Amino acid sequence: MTPTATVEAIEQLGRLLDRAVRALGEAGERDAACRLAAEGWWLVKEPAPRAARRLNATLHYLTVHPGKSDT
């Protein structure tokens, strides 16, 4: 696998993790979702900064918008 392909694979995994984390948060598990988003950010911040920015935005979204269990 080339370095470019590796970065793209990490970006794709970041998008997948982002969707899963948002779904988890919207299902009422915001604390778990925030922990996963933060850990994912830490893992991808160097090799895949776009994925890191996306996870950071999701982390902020989860802390500002109430989940189903909060309404």
Q: What is d(CA 28, CA 51) in angstroms, rounded to the nearest whole number?
A: 23
pLDDT at 11: 92
Q: What's the predicted TM-score (pTM) here?
A: 0.82
Report the pLDDT averaged over residues 4-14.
90
pLDDT tens digit sequence for 32-51: 999 999 999 999 999 999 99
Q: How far, CA to CA in Å, does 59 sit from each of 4, 34, 39, 45?
A: 27, 6, 11, 14
